[in-house]
């Protein structure tokens, strides 16, 4: 049967699917919860299937809801492209999650601002791409940075990305740690160590996943899950209080009393891409992509190490590494 579903109904479906909570989804769409429930019911009638399993305490996608979600995202992206084509390039501020002030994303944003000062590029400091990408796909954020191969496949279908950098991974150690005196730390030397890699923070699930892949079979333990840590000051406080060693990257904040040491033999890589909502057209996005390409070229950010290196196959493919 033919379907004639308004974009409003698709936006309602995507919002509830991403929030899994009707009150939060209604607030996100600036509608009453009763109106949102009516829209979901109408979408289900038009599609001839249930999209959600609902109780007073729990909302979950049905199998059909899971299957239809990426299609709904693609349709909404097409509507956005149509609106952009009709309206011309927007002049609204572009919101950009750079993750923090000591990140690759921050460097790209700074260069874009310097090159295009007439544009309003508003920075956000989230903690991970998994959380940011959900906001990007849902239209609450425009651009983010991070490891795209670590995102759920259904979420990636609604995103575009540009490889920016292969960051060398490192370990943050207390000054009196036996490995702190080394200029670099061989990966095998971390056997028996326990490293914090943001386990327990759903917004950084892509980073924890990368750590688990790196640690597998090497005798390195992942620190127990801990609630999300917000901000530099809180991170420093918690890490020092708990005595953690931390899996990090070469682009990382300074922590008093701790030292950052690159990991070697092999060199593990942390891939960083610029990520945006599929179909987004904005001069700020163009400026960010130009800045990312210029920095990647000038600083050889995408060059592979001359010594043995490590990167999961899916990440190598996403970053466009030949032969991956």
* 301-321: pLDDT as tens digits: 999 999 999 999 999 999 998
* 10-27: pLDDT as tens digits: 989 998 998 898 988 887
> Could you tell me which residues come within 8 angstroms of residue 115 by beta carbon, excluding any fewer than 6 positions away?
287, 290, 291
- The three-state DSSP-derived secondary structure of 254-292 is CCCCEEEEEEECCEEEEEEEEEEECCCCCHHHHHHHHHH
How buried is 238 (Cβ within 10 angstroms: 0-12 exposed, 13-18 middle, 19+ buried)?
middle
CA 99 – CA 231 distance, rounded (Å): 10
Same topology between domain 94-166+269-318 and domain 168-268 = yes
The CATH number that domain 7-87 falls under is: 1.10.10.10
* 123-159: pLDDT as tens digits: 998 879 999 998 998 888 999 999 999 998 888 888 9
pTM assigned to the model: 0.73
The CATH number that domain 94-166+269-318 falls under is: 3.40.190.10
**Residue 267: CB atoms within 10 Å:** 21
Q: 124, 128, 71, 69: which is closest to 97 by C-alpha? A: 124
The class of domain 168-268 in CATH terms is alpha beta
For the chain, give every domain's residue range: 7-87, 94-166+269-318, 168-268
Element of type H or E holding 38 = helix 33-47
Q: What's the mean per-residue pLDDT of the chain?
A: 90
Looking at the predicted structure, is the pLDDT value of residue 274 above 70?
yes
* 58-114: pLDDT as tens digits: 899 999 999 999 998 888 877 766 655 554 455 689 999 998 888 999 999 999 999
CA 289 – CA 271 distance, rounded (Å): 16
């Amino acid at each position: 049967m033919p379907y004639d579903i308004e974009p409003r109904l698709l936006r309602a479906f995507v919002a509830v699917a991403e929030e899994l909570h009707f009150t939060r989804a209604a607030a996100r769409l600036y509608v009453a919860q009763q109106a949102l429930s009516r829209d979901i019911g109408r979408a289900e009638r038009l599609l001839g299937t249930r999209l959600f399993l609902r109780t007073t305490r729990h909302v979950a996608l049905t199998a059909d809801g899971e299957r239809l979600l990426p299609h709904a995202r693609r349709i909404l992206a097409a509507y956005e492209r149509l609106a952009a084509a009709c309206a011309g390039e927007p002049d609204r501020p572009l919101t950009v999650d750079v993750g923090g002030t000591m990140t690759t994303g921050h460097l790209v944003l700074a260069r874009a601002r310097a090159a295009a000062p007439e544009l309003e590029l508003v920075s956000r400091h989230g903690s991970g791409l998994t959380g940011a990408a959900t906001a990007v796909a849902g239209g609450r954020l425009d651009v983010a940075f991070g490891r795209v191969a670590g995102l759920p496949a259904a979420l990636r279908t609604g995103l575009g990305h540009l490889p920016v950098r292969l960051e060398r991974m490192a370990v943050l150690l207390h000054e009196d740690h036996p490995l702190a005196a080394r200029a670099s730390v061989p990966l095998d030397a971390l056997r028996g160590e326990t490293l914090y890699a943001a386990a327990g923070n759903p917004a950084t699930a892509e980073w924890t996943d990368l750590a688990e892949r790196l640690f597998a079979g090497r005798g390195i333990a992942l620190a127990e899950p801990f609630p999300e840590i917000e901000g530099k000051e809180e991170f420093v406080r918690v890490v020092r209080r708990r005595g953690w060693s931390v899996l990090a990257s070469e682009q990382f904040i300074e922590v008093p009393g701790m030292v950052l040491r690159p990991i070697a033999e092999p060199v593990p890589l942390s891939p960083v891409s610029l990520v945006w909502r599929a179909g987004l057209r904005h001069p700020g996005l163009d400026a960010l992509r130009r800045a990312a390409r210029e920095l990647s070229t000038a600083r050889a950010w995408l060059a592979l190490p001359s010594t043995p290196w490590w990167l999961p196959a899916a990440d190598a493919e996403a970053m466009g590494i030949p032969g991956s």
